[in-house]
Amino acid sequence: MARTLIIIPTYNERDNIASIVGRVRASVPAGDVLVVDDSSPDGTGALADALAAADSQVHTLHRTRKEGLGAAYLEAFTWGLSRGYERLVQLDADGSHLPEQLPALLRATDAADVVLGSRWVTGGAVENWPWHRRLLSRGGSVYSRVLLRLRQRDVTGGYRVYSAHALERMDLSSVDSLGYCFQIDMLLRAVRAGLTVVEIPITFVERTLGSSKMSGSIVAEAMGRVTIWGLTGRNARRAAVLPPASVPQGR
């Protein structure tokens, strides 16, 4: 099995972190976990340290301040690549990304450089979202797809697997998208690099504990960047994209 690192960024996720780490470890026993905490005032970092002390496959990375999701992932990617991990997973701490679906995403790496957990392909679903959240998410994906000429259905989702090879080809040193648009930026870079991208259907579940970090200003900032990228010609060239049905479901 390829060495796998599951990255879980946190900010004020004390109520969720122990459960999500336990579910990840049960779902992918051979994988390692890296909790990346942005100095959460609620003590999430200290609890993550306790989890790491009890399990040699759990690690922590403490950041000095909250700088956005993208900054946390970029530092975690550097941490993982420097230690020889071959697959690096993005997974939210709030339970919206089901760890039990991670084995299917990992199997898809047999045929892809980047695997997207997709809400908007056949078989994908969203649970406990009001209609306006669905409209905002689907609308953001459609707008980005059209303007950037992307073929993927779910361009804003954050449940992903990158191969080390993919991250090394994506010029991470030039990424400056640190908020909601980070996911769009990373997908665009993958497609422009000619990497093979697949989408695997997932069920996205709205958090039950804690508060969402999403806000209207974050979405507006992302869509503003997408508009600039589209109008200035930062369009993706075609990549090899396999439909979910063509991805092998076993080794």
CATH of the domain at 212: 3.90.550.10
Q: Is 154 in contact with 124 (CB distance < 8 Å)?
A: yes
Residue type present at position 106: L
Count how many domains the chain has: 1
Task: Sort strands 32-37 and 114-118 into parallel, antiparallel or unpaired.
Answer: unpaired
Q: Is residue 70 one of the residues assigned to a domain?
A: yes
Residue 216: which pLDDT band, with cuts at 50, 70 and 90? Answer: low
Which is higher by pLDDT, 206 or 99?
99
Range with the lowest mean pLDDT among 67-76, 185-194, 235-244? 235-244
3-class secondary-structure state, position 221: helix
Mean pLDDT of 97-104: 98
Q: Of the ranges 22-31, 164-173, 214-223, which is most confident?
A: 22-31
| Distance linking the first and last C-alpha atoms of the chain | 10
Residue 130: which pLDDT band, with cuts at 50, 70 and 90? Answer: confident
Q: Is residue 57 one of the residues assigned to a domain?
A: yes
Q: Is residue 250 one of the residues assigned to a domain?
A: no
Which residue range is the domain that position 173 belongs to? 4-242
Nearest to 187 by CA among 217, 163, 160: 160
pLDDT score at 2: 87
Q: Is residue 251 one of the residues assigned to a domain?
A: no
pLDDT tens digit string along 38-68? 999 999 999 999 999 999 999 999 999 888 8
Q: Is residue 149 one of the residues assigned to a domain?
A: yes
pLDDT tens digit string along 163-212? 999 999 998 988 878 767 899 999 999 999 999 999 999 999 985 655 55
pLDDT score at 233: 64
Distance CA 177, CA 104 (A): 28
Q: Is residue 150 one of the residues assigned to a domain?
A: yes
The answer, yes or no, to whether residue 220 has pLDDT greater than 70, is no
3-class secondary-structure state, position 113: coil
Q: Is residue 248 one of the residues assigned to a domain?
A: no
Helical axes 182-192 vs 131-148, angle rounded to 10°: 30
CB within 8 Å of 91: residues ≥ 6 apart: 6, 7, 8, 20, 24, 97, 99, 102, 159
Which is higher by pLDDT, 134 or 155?
155
3-class secondary-structure state, position 133: helix
Distance CA 45, CA 128 (A): 28
Q: What is the pTM (predicted TM-score) of this model?
A: 0.86
Distance CA 72, CA 80 (A): 12
Q: Is residue 202 one of the residues assigned to a domain?
A: yes
Nearest to 182 by CA among 153, 145, 221: 221
